[in-house]
Amino acid sequence: MLRIHVSRLDLSRVRMATRPDALWETILSFHRLRDRRASTVFGKWRTESRARLNGEAQLLAAVVPPRGYFPDFLTPSQEGAEPFGLDVGMEALRDTPADRVHAELELLAADRTRHRTDRSVGQRAATALPAALMEGRAEPLTRLIGALRSYHQAAVEPYWPHIRASIEADRAVRGRALLDGGTDELLATLPPTIRWRSPVLEADYPVDRDLHLDGRGLLLQPSFFCRGTPVVYRDPSLPPVLVYPVTNPGAPVFAEPGPWLGRLVGHTRSAVLSSIGTGCTTSELARRAGVSLASASQHASVLREAGLVLTLRHGSSVLHTLTPLGGSLLRGGAPLTLH
């Protein structure tokens, strides 16, 4: 179990990430690529992504085992970075001090020995790249960064609008909880594997661990590819971040366009889409759009099938939010910006 000790000062400094973190999604998606579970959600994505890969998986597997510890330097903190995205993360990774790379790869080697996770890639492949990185030379790090970028382009970038929409829907749910009951309510609405028992935030975790925030606050980072247990940095001196899984609405992840497109016409449905705005319940949607509750629910369902709306449960009600595609449609087809 993970226990995060939260003082009153820390509670005032809890904050939500503004968008998905490209490197966290890249590394965690690599876990999902090798995980046979959740085929309904990730099956099609795995098939499509594997077809686009060209040797990156074997190289990345040398530093990202299928389970257990992976080096913290692979997902550098980007708090305050603008623009916030993959390029900034790659530069931060490249700037990691050599002694830190060496220390974290030693931890990886010890963890591999303890859990024998190197069987998935073979002993030689599992040690060759880490050994080269530990020498502190620029070339192995450049190779690793190149593999990460190529993998991201194959397995994450094509799906970024959906990933971003899922994180924005989760932020809408957490934001409403924050408005309704403050930070205590926000922490209480995190996924079931995370439990707020003031002053301790408990979470299911592979090992027994205590993390003391010591007045630094906590960044909550929702993640599409995080599944099951949340993730934190192993090094307690790094800026505290809790990466947790977004709620999965249960639909296939990257659905193909279907016959619902022909139903996306009419003044009423346009008004419903516009009424959703930054998020609303079905009852609020009915009031805003001037339609019955049943009609609002039916319109939201069609818009959800079309990929224009995401719907998540919030307590006893549901919360509808726009996807980037839905927002783009309202803006008159303005292109999406992928961060």
Answer whether 229's CB lies under 8 Å from 206's CB.
yes
Residue 38 is predicted with a pLDDT of: 66
Report how far residue 103's alpha carbon sits from residue 93's, in angstroms, rounded to the nearest whole number.
Answer: 15
Q: Given this model, what pLDDT does residue 259 score?
A: 55
Q: What integer pLDDT is reported at residue 331 of this predicted model?
A: 64
- Quote the CA–CA distance of 332 and 234 in Å, as a whole number: 45
Residue among 191, 181, 104, 194 nearest 144 (CA): 104
Residue 198 phi/psi, 5° resolution?
Answer: -45, 130
pLDDT at 248: 64
Q: What are phi and psi of 69, to 5 degrees?
A: -70, 140
Low-confidence ranges of the chain (pLDDT < 70): 38, 80-84, 115-128, 248-265, 331-339
- What's the pLDDT at 264? 60
pLDDT of the residue at 7:
96
pLDDT given for residue 251 in this prediction: 46
Give the SS3 label for residue 109. Answer: helix
- CA of 332: how far to CAs of 25, 133, 270, 337, in Å? 29, 48, 12, 15
Q: Is the pTM of this model over 0.85?
A: no
187, amino acid identity: L
